[in-house]
Amino acid sequence: MPVATYDLWAFVSENWRELLDALVNTIKVSALAIAGAFAIGLTLGAARAHRIPVVSQITAVYVEIIRNTPILVQIFMLFFALPQAGIRLDGFTTAWLSVMLWGGAFNSENFRAGFEAVPKRYREAGLALGFSPLATFFNVTLPIGGRISLPSSINTYISVVKKTSLMYVIGYPELTTTAINIANLTLETLEALTVLGIVYLTLVWSLSASIRVLESRLALPEERS
Amino acid sequence: MPDWAGPVARYILEEGLPVTLRISAVAVVGSAVIGIVLGTLLTIEFVLSRAIIRLYVEVFRGLPILVTVFMVYFGLPAINNALEFDAITATSIALILWGSAQVAEATRGAVQSIPREQHEAAAALGFGWVGRHRSVILPQAFRRLLPPFVSLLVNIIQNSTLAAVIGGIELLQAAKSQTERLTFFPPAGIGEIHAFEILAFVALIFFLISFPLTRLAAYLEKRMVV
């Protein structure tokens, strides 16, 4: 067995190009998934909060299925079971689609809770002022409820970023796959794990710091001090 | 029911399910014990212990659990050969590291939500720090911890599938190996692909376990608010 010496700098300087590409892939998948999860969460969350028939029930089923089955099973379904029905998704599509569907389910619960926390009389006031239901949603419910759901939805986005590491199981070259593959070739396991730890913690910690900044920036006027 | 379904289902239920349940049980008990101790210690106004526990909590909550699994499974043996664990144990350890960080954070919040007077009254009755927390504060904090505990259990059960990534035979890995076996030619397999049916079966098992628990968590949370 070769005697390994720990040299983080050598590991990074020899593999930085691959690692950077991998980081770009992680960010690309995360960004697409977060954008999609935001759109899904907003629409389905609004539909559920306003108890729109059919859409609400379908959303409830979607949310419960995603929440109560492991995301790895969902990824396997998309990547290994769909081809059986003749639908072949490449690694990149599977990657963003699976975490987007996962994040969208959790996010629709976040938005629903936010919208439901808006006092009913605000909505009634909007309608009484002659706003259409849609205009009331965009001018009253969304600005207030959206802010209420902001911290929990950012937490969901943070989880989305972390879940992209699971694409290791389908071999999509994001950060985790790439780092582990390099480590398997060079036996620089500890260096690869250090890089993974540093990069993920930087991403996650800066995203959670953004919750605090956004919360104070977007606080409702009466909550500002 | 086609002929192949019986043996596949039996293998998944007999070889996979008990392991999933074992990982989950070990992980949830370990997370609870370590997390409650760390979370309670986190409320002590001593900068050094607080900084260390805070770092532990932030690191293991921040890392993707899969990366923690790799750290335990590949990283620890690279540091010292004695720290080599099988896939199931490594997954359990990683889940405890993550779960205890979650529990610690929840416990800190729960303990701090108990009014000061409770501490003072217990101290006036002659309880020391340990007795005060064990007999007065934690029993009250525990009620507030119940809903997050149930959610944690659901998360741990689902994340126990990470063992499949490093080859530990639990529900998902059992399903994967059966799917592969069926694609082989007879006598081992039948030369057919049944990934969808087998994965759907596994998803159903997880759903049947998780759904009542998420309902329970929602119910407990609602009851806490009142």
Backbone angles phi, psi at B25, to 5 degrees: -65, -50
Question: What's the pLDDT tens digit per position in B133-182?
Answer: 888 888 888 888 888 899 999 999 999 999 999 999 999 999 999 988 88
Cβ contacts of residue B76 below 8 Å, gap of 6+? B83, B84, B85
Question: What's the pLDDT tens digit per position in B201-213?
Answer: 999 999 999 999 9
CA atoms within a 13 Å half-sphere pointing along the CA-CB vector of B204 = 10
Check residue A78 and report its DSSP letter. I
**Does residue A152 form part of some domain?**
yes
Name the amino acid, one letter, at A184: N
Q: How confident is the model at residue A24 (pLDDT cuts 50, 70, 90)?
A: very high
A88: burial class by Cβ within 10 Å (0-12, 13-18, 19+)? exposed
Q: What does the pLDDT average to over A156-171? A: 95
Partner-chain contact B202 A81, CB within 8 Å: no
Partner-chain contact B67 A176, CB within 8 Å: yes
**Does residue A112 form part of some domain?**
yes
Q: Which residues of B touch A177 (CB under 8 A)?
A: none
How many residues would you count in chain B? Answer: 226
pLDDT at A224: 59
**Does residue A3 form part of some domain?**
no
Q: Which of A39-48, B80-89, B107-116 has the highest mean pLDDT?
A: A39-48
A66 touches B at CB < 8 Å: no
**Considering only alpha carbons, which residue of chain B is nearest residue A4?**
B78
Interface test with B, best of A72, A75, A101, A185 (most B CBs within 10 A): A72
Hey, where are the domains in chain B? 5-225
Nearest CB to B172 within list A73, A81, A193: A73
B207 touches A at CB < 8 Å: yes
CATH code where residue A51 lies: 1.10.3720.10
Q: Which residues of A touch B62 (CB under 8 A)?
A: 200-201, 204-205, 208
Cis-peptide into B187, omega within 30 deg = yes
**Does residue A39 form part of some domain?**
yes
pLDDT at A4: 59
Name the amino acid, one letter, at A88: R
- Which ranges of B12-115 does DSSP label H, i.e. alpha helix? 17-41, 47-62, 65-70, 76-79, 87-112
Domain that holds residue A206: 8-223
Partner-chain contact A70 B79, CB within 8 Å: no
Partner-chain contact B203 A77, CB within 8 Å: yes
pLDDT at B43: 87
Cβ contacts of residue A214 below 8 Å, gap of 6+? A150, A154
Q: Contact at 8 Å (CB) between B210 and A64?
A: no
Out of A38-52, A109-123, B186-200, pick the least confident: B186-200
- A34 has a pLDDT exceeding 80: yes
Other Cβ atoms within 10 Å of B133 Cβ, number: 22
pLDDT at A154: 92
- Indicate the average pLDDT of chain B: 91
Q: How confident is the model at residue A175 (pLDDT cuts 50, 70, 90)?
A: very high
Give CA–CA dist B73/B71, Å, rounded.
6
Overall domain count for chain A: 1
**Does residue A2 form part of some domain?**
no
- B193 has a pLDDT exceeding 90: no
| CA distance to partner chain A, nearest, from residue B196 (Å) | 4
The helix-helix angle for B138-159 and B195-225 (nearest 10°) equals 170
The proportion of chain A whose per-residue pLDDT surpasses 70, expressed as a percent, equals: 96
Identify the CA nearest to A96 among candidates A170, A9, A154, A181: A170
Cβ contacts of residue A73 below 8 Å, gap of 6+? B161, B172, B199, B202, B203, B206
Q: How many contacts (CB atoms, under 8 Å) link A and B?
A: 108
pLDDT at A1: 46
pLDDT at B225: 61
**Does residue A158 form part of some domain?**
yes
- Indicate the average pLDDT of chain A: 92
Give CA–CA dist B72/A101, Å, rounded.
29
Pick the CATH number of B5-225 from 1.10.10.10, 3.40.630.10, 3.20.20.70, 1.10.3720.10: 1.10.3720.10
Give CA–CA dist A170/A91, Å, rounded.
7
N-to-C CA span, chain B:
49
Tokens of A155: 């937490």
The tokens 């911290």 sit on which residue?
Answer: A151
| CA distance to partner chain A, nearest, from residue B119 (Å) | 31
pLDDT at A223: 64
- B56 has a pLDDT exceeding 90: yes
Interface test with A, best of B68, B102, B161 (most A CBs within 10 A): B161
A117 touches B at CB < 8 Å: no
Q: Contact at 8 Å (CB) between A111 and A41?
A: yes
Give CA–CA dist B151/B214, Å, rounded.
7
